[in-house]
């Protein structure tokens, strides 16, 4: 029997790895039958977060938002059928979900068509509890392991959050996506206050432990799909916040300050407070053809400088 453990932000059914985390894998069911949704949800509820879509168009939208690990896709639906939905999903950039077709048909002809369309497997109706669980579990495990191995190159070795390389790639990608959708993209740049003094007083090993604790708290504090926590450099972190306005990002900055302060990590050598805090610089812009991602970074960086000048342990919003 598998033991459920975590890889980054994902829960993984394997005893091969030893990781920590809090969020489970994501399974999306796209089926116009409410009964099928209920049956599959009940069978798979222990494997992760279950989301359902009632038709193909809704399923595509949810897949773009949730980035599910596994998609159970009904073949026969009104409007867009399963093959059309599969084709549209496969055209999305960076699509990594495992698609399992759900069908009332059996036989080699239907199997070949499903696999040719891009599915990794299929499940026939009526559902057999053990078969459904076995097939979904196998592809869920494979998807999570593949995702983990692919992310190794993008993870910071000390803190376990994403590294600067991945930040640069994802910011450019999100900028293009928000330009197309004409949505506001936000960024939080944050710095651990008086970190050099912390290192000098307690040593670099304690400093490393401090950065790990801060990174873990930041990862727990980002809950929406698409929010990306990265180690920007040294004691500085960056968080990409899709579809977020200036008002929303400022509230998020205050929240981050509260979350880190609540850790009550002792700081033995600072002039104001006896525990670790952060300063946060924030920016939110509506991308245009005339602007670039570096403008978002520059605004957040200027706001971070102002937060530190004004006394630290606070969040400031940059001009954009």
Mean pLDDT for each 10-residue chunk of the chain (320 residues)? 38 35 75 96 94 96 92 94 92 86 84 86 93 95 86 90 94 94 96 97 97 97 89 97 96 98 96 96 96 96 97 92
In 214-301 the beta strands, taken as DSSP E runs, fall at 228-233, 236-241, 278-285
Residue 40 tokens read as 């599959």
Residue 162 DSSP label: B
Alpha-carbon distance of 177 to 169, in angstroms, equals 13
Judging by DSSP bridges, how do beta strands 4-7 and 185-192 pair with one another?
Answer: unpaired
Q: What tokens does 288 get?
A: 């245009």
The continuous run of DSSP H or E covering 212 comes out as helix 204-221
Q: Cα 96 from chain centroid?
A: 13
SS3 299: helix
The residue ranges of every structural domain in the chain are: 4-154, 164-317
| pLDDT for the residue numbered 238 | 98
CATH of 4-154, one of 3.40.50.300, 3.40.50.150, 3.40.50.2300, 3.30.750.24: 3.40.50.2300
Alpha-carbon distance 293 to 204, whole Å? 33
**Residue in the structure block whose two tokens are 């602007």:** 291
* C-alpha to C-alpha distance for 218 and 21, rounded to whole angstroms: 12
Distance CA 125, CA 285 (A): 48
Give me the sheet containing 278-285, strands edge to edge. 228-233, 236-241, 185-192, 278-285, 315-317
Instruction: At 124, give phi and psi (nearest 5°).
Output: -95, 150
Q: What pLDDT score was predicted for residue 320?
A: 67
Fold of 164-317: Alpha-Beta Plaits (3.30.70)
| E strand or H helix that includes residue 297 | helix 293-309
- Chain centre distance of CA 195: 28
Catalytic residue among 46, 84, 109, 235: 235
In the structure encoding, which two tokens stand for residue 215, read together?
């990174």
What single DSSP character describes residue 153? G
Integer angstrom CA distances of residue 54 from 26, 47, 66: 17, 21, 16
Rounded to 10°, the helix 34-44/129-151 angle is: 70
Under the phi-then-psi rule, with left for phi > 0, alpha for psi from -120 to 50, and beta for the rest, what region is 107? Answer: left
Tokens, residue 1: 């029997």
**What is the pTM (predicted TM-score) of this model?**
0.66
6 DSSP β-pair partners: 11
Active-site residue flag, 309: no
Q: Could you give the CA distance from residue 108 to residue 271 in angstroms, rounded to a whole number? A: 73
Rounded CA-CA distance 221/218 in Å is: 5
- Joined tokens for residue 308: 């530190």
Q: How far apart are CA 226 and CA 245, in angstroms?
A: 15
């Amino acid at each position: 029997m598998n033991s459920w453990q975590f890889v980054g932000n994902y829960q993984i059914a394997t005893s091969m790895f030893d990781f920590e985390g809090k969020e489970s894998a994501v399974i999306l069911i796209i089926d116009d039958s409410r009964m099928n949704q209920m049956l599959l949800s009940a069978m798979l509820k222990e494997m992760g977060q279950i989301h359902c879509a009632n038709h193909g168009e809704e399923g595509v939208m949810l897949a773009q938002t949730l980035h599910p690990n596994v998609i159970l896709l009904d073949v026969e639906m009104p409007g867009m059928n399963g093959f059309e939905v599969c084709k549209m999903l496969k055209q999305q950039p960076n699509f990594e979900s495992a698609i399992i077709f759900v069908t009332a048909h059996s036989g080699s002809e239907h199997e070949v068509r499903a696999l040719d369309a891009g599915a990794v497997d299929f499940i026939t109706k009526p559902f057999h509890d053990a078969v459904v669980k076995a097939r979904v579990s196998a592809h869920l495990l494979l998807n999570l392991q593949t995702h983990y191995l692919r992310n190794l190159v993008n993870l910071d070795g000390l803190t376990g959050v994403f590294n600067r390389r991945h930040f640069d790639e994802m910011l450019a990608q999100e900028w293009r996506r928000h330009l197309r959708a004409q949505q506001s993209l936000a960024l939080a740049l944050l710095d651990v206050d008086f970190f050099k003094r912390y290192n000098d007083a307690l040593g670099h090993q304690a400093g490393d432990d401090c950065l790990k604790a801060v990174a873990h708290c930041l990862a727990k504090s980002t809950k929406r799909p698409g929010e990306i926590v990265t180690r920007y450099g040294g004691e500085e972190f960056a968080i990409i916040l899709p579809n977020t306005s200036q008002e929303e990002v400022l509230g998020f900055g205050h929240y981050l300050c509260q979350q880190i302060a609540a850790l009550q990590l002792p700081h033995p050598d600072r002039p104001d407070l006896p525990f670790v805090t952060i300063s946060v610089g924030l920016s939110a812009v509506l991308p245009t053809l005339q602007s670039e991602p570096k403008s978002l970074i520059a605004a957040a960086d200027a706001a971070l400088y102002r937060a530190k000048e004004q006394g630290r342990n606070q969040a400031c919003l940059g001009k954009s």
